[in-house]
Amino acid sequence: MIKASLNARRLLCPLPVIRTQDKVKQLKPGDQLEVICTDPGVMQDIPTWCRINGHKVLETSAGDHEYIIILEVGA
Amino acid sequence: MTKQRKAVALISGGLDSMLAAKTIMDQGVHVEGINFFTGFCVEGHTHAIRANNKAKPKRNNSLWVAEQLGIKLHIVDVIEEYKDVLINPKHGYGAHMNPCLDCKIFMVNKAKQWIVENDFDFIITGEVIGQRPMSQRKSTMPIVAKESGADDLLLRPLCAKNLPATLPEREGWVDREKLHEITGRSRKPQIAMAEQFGFDDYSQPAGGCCFLTDASYSAKLVDLWKARDGDKQYDLDDVMLLKVGRHIRPEQNFKVIIAREEGEGRFMQGYKKEFITLACVSHPGALALVDGTPSAEDLFLAARITARYGQGRDAEQVDVSITGKDGSERVIQVKPLGAEEIPQEWFI
């Protein structure tokens, strides 16, 4: 299992979703991806994108204007 | 066994594309959504930037629509390719800098490429004859189909009965009788259909889903090109910054972008390495970026403008920091410009 990371800071939605989508295409089912963003909109958009595309959000956290989402790539 | 046909629906996040997709899904066709990000999409951006919009949900409506429909959504970054559509629109612009007809042709063409690559059968859009003055007229419908290369693989379920039958209808992949014949700008048929489908929450942006239909945004874009001696190239940061702040151009060689509130200021902080930044230090005030090639005298004027939009606007003297792209900082003292000293034509 690969644990990958994606820096999507300064990008505004939907670009963090697009970058996540592109990165996930390079991964395999079961791999994990950590996405680090500054747009609060990702807290809604990336989980929605995961739900409709069959991926699982493992963890979300919000810090000092930074938002982190860890997801597991679905089949 | 009959092969299940597959369609890709252009999903803007608005009601029409949602209804079009649902109409076809209900006929047993497998539908997936596609959304093209041009850089000018209203979705997401501005409400993500501005702190005073915190109460509004920061959802991306195309994703939300896909979830309501229970379909996959493919979001495609077309920022680079879209430049040619905006800069050289074959069919010209609408009321502002909106190349709506060329844009629709471009997107349907991209969808055509996508169905070929992904083994899908046809394309759905939420177009309605007479809905938009430039791109959704009876005369432009065949132009979009022909110039996009989609031809009769392009099905508009909401107004299909007013148009010649497309391949999916002729082949029986969909039942033409169950399609619709909506025309005109009234939203009543769509609202009634939404009720029938049980959709009680949907987005209906008054000016469409593109910043290029906005007069103020278009004026800023034209100003940007003019200031660059007519060079119409742009990058995503240009496009983003036109959505943020007050834009004040005292001279051709520079403009000042002043944050209007906290969220914009925070967003603009991210551009400190690309622009000279100004900020009031003796009084609370907004962050300002200076775009262009300002002289020392211009920077002094920019500092006076910046001070005008801080809480020291009525003070005799305000300290303003000037930070270069390299991070070097100096502080100057200025008298804030009075409201009457900023000519209206400076505001873009």
Tell me, yes or no, whether B25 and B130 share the same domain.
yes
Number of H helices, E strands in chain B: 12, 11
Closest Cα partner for B250 from B216, B212, B223?
B223
Range of the domain at B284: 244-346
- Can you give the pLDDT at residue A10? 84
Is residue B218 domain-resident? no
The pLDDT profile of chain B, 348 residues, written as one tens digit per residue, is: 688 999 999 998 889 999 999 999 999 999 999 999 999 987 655 555 666 556 565 678 899 999 999 999 999 999 999 999 999 999 999 999 999 999 999 999 999 999 999 999 999 999 999 887 766 788 899 999 999 999 999 999 999 999 999 999 999 999 999 999 999 888 899 999 999 999 988 876 555 678 899 999 999 999 999 999 889 999 988 998 998 899 999 999 999 999 998 888 988 998 999 999 999 999 999 999 999 999 999 999 999 999 999 999 999 999 999 999 999 999 999 999 999 999 999 999
Beta-ladder partners of A33: A4, A71
* Cβ–Cβ below 8 Å for B60 and A41: yes
Tally of domains within chain B: 2
Tell me, yes or no, whether B191 and B285 share the same domain.
no
Sign of torsion over alpha carbons B162, B163, B164, B166: negative
Tell me, yes or no, whether B249 and B204 share the same domain.
no
Closest Cα partner for A34 from A63, A64, A65, A61?
A61
User: Which residues have a Cβ under 8 Å from the Cβ of B235 and sit 6 or more positions away?
Assistant: none
- Can you give the pLDDT at residue B136? 77
Tell me, yes or no, if B36 comes closer than 8 A to chain A by beta carbon.
no
Tell me, yes or no, whether B267 and B119 share the same domain.
no
Helix (H, G, I), strand (E, B) or coil at B10: strand
* Cβ–Cβ below 8 Å for A45 and B67: no
Instruction: Give B209→chain A minimum CA distance, Å.
Output: 14
Tell me, yes or no, whether B100 and B57 share the same domain.
yes
Alpha-carbon torsion angle B94, B96, B97, B102, nearest 10: -10
Q: Is residue B240 packed enough to be buried (19+ CB in 10 Å), middle (13-18) or exposed (0-12)? A: buried
Residue pair B64/B13 in contact by the 8 Å Cβ criterion = yes
Cα–Cα dist A47/B64, whole Å: 11
Tell me, yes or no, if B218 comes closer than 8 A to chain A by beta carbon.
no
User: What residue of B is the nearest CA neighbor of A13?
Assistant: B44
Write the residue in A12, A49, A53 that is nearest to B240 by C-beta: A12
| Beta sheet of B122-124, edge-to-edge order | B73-77, B30-37, B6-10, B122-124, B154-155
Tell me, yes or no, whether B128 and B251 share the same domain.
no
Tokens (6 digits) for B263:
């969220």
Q: Among B189, B211, B233, which residue terminates a domain?
A: B211
Q: Which chain A residues have a beta carbon less than 8 Å from that of B59?
A: 41, 44-45, 48
- Can you give the pLDDT at residue B322? 97
Give the angle subtended at the CA of B297 by the CAs of B294 and B302, to the nearest 5°: 65
Which active-site residues of A does the annotation give? 13
Q: Among B188, B211, B234, which residue terminates a domain?
A: B211
Q: Is residue B342 packed enough to be buried (19+ CB in 10 Å), middle (13-18) or exposed (0-12)? A: middle
Tell me, yes or no, if B35 comes closer than 8 A to chain A by beta carbon.
yes
Write the residue in B44, B57, B67 that is nearest to A12 by C-beta: B44
CATH number of A3-72: 3.30.110.40
- Substitution target in B58, B71, B78, B79 with the highest count of A β-carbons within 10 Å is B58
Tell me, yes or no, whether B103 and B201 share the same domain.
yes
Residue pair B29/B4 in contact by the 8 Å Cβ criterion = yes
Task: Kindly report the backbone phi and psi dihedral angles of residue B61, in degrees, each rounded to the nearest multiple of 5, phi listed first.
Answer: -65, -30
Cβ count near B321 (within 10 Å): 16
User: Which residues have a Cβ under 8 Å from the Cβ of B116 and sit 6 or more positions away?
Assistant: none
Is residue B65 domain-resident? yes
Complete DSSP assignment for A28-72: -TT-EEEEEES-TTHHHHHHHHHHHHT-EEEEEEE-SS-EEEEEE
Is residue B235 domain-resident? no
Tell me, yes or no, if B167 comes closer than 8 A to chain A by beta carbon.
no
Residue pair A17/A48 in contact by the 8 Å Cβ criterion = no
Tell me, yes or no, if B114 comes closer than 8 A to chain A by beta carbon.
no
Cα–Cα dist A11/B95, whole Å: 30
Tell me, yes or no, if B37 comes closer than 8 A to chain A by beta carbon.
yes
Is residue B336 domain-resident? yes
Is residue B221 domain-resident? no
Alpha-carbon torsion angle A16, A17, A22, A28, nearest 10: 110
What Rg, from alpha-carbon coordinates, does chain A have? 11
Is residue B222 domain-resident? no
Write the residue in A38, A41, A52 that is nearest to B72 by C-beta: A52
* Cβ–Cβ below 8 Å for A41 and B47: yes
Cα–Cα dist B261/B270, whole Å: 15
Residue pair B144/B103 in contact by the 8 Å Cβ criterion = no
Instruction: Give A1→chain B minimum CA distance, Å.
Output: 25
pLDDT in tens, A35-74: 999 888 899 999 999 999 999 999 999 988 899 999 999 9
Tell me, yes or no, whether B117 and B168 share the same domain.
yes
Q: For chain A, first and last CA: distance in Å?
A: 13
- pTM for this one? 0.91
Cα–Cα dist B213/B270, whole Å: 27
CATH code, domain carrying B202: 3.40.50.620
- Can you give the pLDDT at residue A34? 98
Tell me, yes or no, if B74 comes closer than 8 A to chain A by beta carbon.
yes
Q: Among B155, B186, B211, which residue terminates a domain?
A: B211
